[in-house]
Chain A
Amino acid sequence: MTITSAYDRGRLTVYLSGELDHHAAGEAIHGIGELLDEFLPRDCVLDLSGLSFMDSSGIAVIARARYRMQSLSGRIWIECPSPQVQRVLDAACIDRLVPVTSGNIGGLR
């Protein structure tokens, strides 16, 4: 799994790619945490378009990121999950916690 990011006017976009399982989850939690500490964004977008596989370990990563954004009084959402990732998000009812958008619509306005 790799993490890259882009920051633009208060919005941090985190791109996760590869496979997000328990083996990769610690690194993902740590990496996202460092980015949030560095940029203190108003909005955080988790772009999952490059993620070819995710299991429930990814749910914990997303829940952690949401918790961090809440403490910054910011917003967070998920963009572009692949079908396999979407099925895991659905099974975990993630949309009760974090909104999911299928395309890049530039946020929740």
Chain B
Amino acid sequence: MNTVNIIRLEFPSKSVNESFARTAAAAFAIQLDPTVEELGDLKTAVSEAVTNAIVHAYPDSIGQIGMKLRILERDTLEITVRDWGCGIENIEEAMKPLYTTGGEERSGMGFTIMQSFMDSLRVRSSPGKGTTVVMRRTIRPRITGK
């Protein structure tokens, strides 16, 4: 698939940047003319992926988070969130609903929400090296009748 547009961002794993990241992704997605519901889904999925990097990848330190936003032919938004943190031992287990290593402040529903709000979700990880989450969602053009 051809890349129509691309933006790369990098920011430190501070929790104030959760709202920055989802707002930036939403602003980029506007060019696909999403509905309010689609925009909400994209923001939620980004929030989950970025929060995981902040909370789990770098539990006791501040590290870097990379976010790549791509528009692919046609009308597909691809969001890549990567970190260079602790990595995930068992991805299949980590993606199960309710599975969490985060204690009482986490619900274990992050991957489930990413999966149900996006068309596709791929997770690559190697322990000690980091994690990359790639999500795609096609935003179909609206028929306006005008």
Which A positions have Cβ atoms within 8 angstroms of B?
19, 21-23, 25-26, 29, 53, 55-57, 59-60, 63-64, 83-84, 87-88, 91-92
How many residue pairs at the A-B interface have CB separations less than 8 Å?
73
- B19 lies within 8 A of A23 (CB): yes
Q: How many residues of B are in contact with the other chain, CB < 8 A?
A: 26
For the residues of A in contact with B, the DSSP-based class is helix
Which of B48-56, B57-65, B127-135 lies on the face that meets chain A?
A: B48-56
Determine whether B75 belongs to the interface, using a CB cutoff of 8 Å to chain A: no
Q: List 27 A-B contacts (CB under 8 A).
A: A19-B19, A21-B51, A22-B15, A22-B54, A22-B55, A22-B105, A23-B16, A23-B19, A53-B40, A53-B44, A53-B47, A55-B51, A56-B106, A56-B107, A56-B109, A56-B110, A57-B105, A57-B106, A63-B107, A83-B40, A84-B43, A84-B44, A87-B37, A87-B41, A88-B44, A91-B109, A92-B112
Q: By CB atoms of chain A within 10 A, which of B41, B44, B104, B116 has the most?
A: B44
Decide yes or no: A21 and B18 within 8 Å by CB, A57-B107, A87-B41 being known contacts: yes
